[in-house]
Structure 1
Amino acid sequence: MRRTSMVAGLVVAGTCVAGPALAVDASEVSRKLSFSEEDSTAGLDVGVGLGGFTGDLGDETGVGGLFNITANAQPWKYIGVEVGYEGQNIPIDDARVLGGNHIWRNNGTFMGKLGPVVDHKWHPFVGAGFGLSFLHASSGSAPIYGNDWQTELPLAAGIEYRLGHLSAGVRATYRLVGSEDLTTIPGTTEEAKGNLFNGNLTVGGRF
């Protein structure tokens, strides 16, 4: 009974001591997550990166460089939006095609982003949206590869750092691809399928 009373006393004492500390921590977290007009910004980013197809398409293509330009806004506390263009040059690595051929991907995407602005500087986020790409295969890859439109459902995760009116960030984007009719799996008449995985760095301004 005495041991039980001692444990109970220690729990009560610990709670009394920890209570103010927890209150301070909660207050500090609330301060860092507070939203102000300073955070409700619009901006423009440019980015570069690398990526390529997965699945059957990834077996016949390589990793290609990309660049993008994106307009964005953070009109609500946890929700932002962006719209942008992305260009990518994906090399073809297919025994049926001579070396040096590639696929140009021209993409437009609208995305919603979810995440807090921490301490008016850090902005971790996840995003989802819709995109449409035109794939243009170089003439030397015909007739094995053709041109095609494809729909994309991008899922992104990243973090941005804001310093005054400047911003820098890193993100990874996995795009679920539909309606591709680019090429066939070697030795078959079945369409080669695959999704896209890209990573990129961005720099820009906030106004």
Structure 2
Amino acid sequence: MRDYQLKTDVEILSHEIAFKRFYQMEIYRLRHRLFNGNWSEIITRDIANTGQVAAVLPYDPAHNKVVLIEQFRAGTLTDEKSPWQLEIVAGLQEVDEVKIELAKRELKEEAGLDTTILMPIYRYWESPGASNKQVDLYCGIIDSRDAGIESLQGVAQEHEDIRVHVLDAEESFQLVRDGFINNSLSIIALQWLELSLLKAPQLLFK
């Protein structure tokens, strides 16, 4: 495996904000070092600054249950079946907010759950060709009997309308295999859980 190129191998010539509402679109003119050692031509890249995210897979090891949420997603309006998504919990980081606290806040707001154990899964770039969004993904150890299934969840001021589902872990894995769960956050989290349960559940969830 080759060594990574370094940040010093990029020269930013200009940076401007082209559009700003809830998210902002930024335009970069830059050049970067090529693998052959030369510099690239000057290129322009449009990058969506969509904020930083914490996401939580709520898992109950005592009952082998997963808690997922269902909500409308405008980004999936072109889905041939439905623009409602079955997902794990997630939210955008506020100014000066620590990712761990963000994860706990979203878990409470979206699923009605508390946790004292957040296990880091991955930190990854969601779509690095077009966005600077970085996701901190956690597994939150919870008691699924506390999930807010008796009422709708979410923050009214944010126009959230969330239904909570408690599923057997194996059922959630099958929903991924069947393509019913088709968003990257949830697929990554649930496949991690499935592999972890196969390998060494006694070490992870003791």
Q: Please state which band the TM-score falls in when normalised by the shorter chain.
A: under 0.3
Normalising by the residue count of structure 1, what TM-score does the alignment of the two structures yield? 0.26
Structure with the higher fraction of residues in strand conformation: 1
Q: Larger Rg: 1 or 2?
A: 1
Structure with the higher fraction of residues in helix conformation: 2
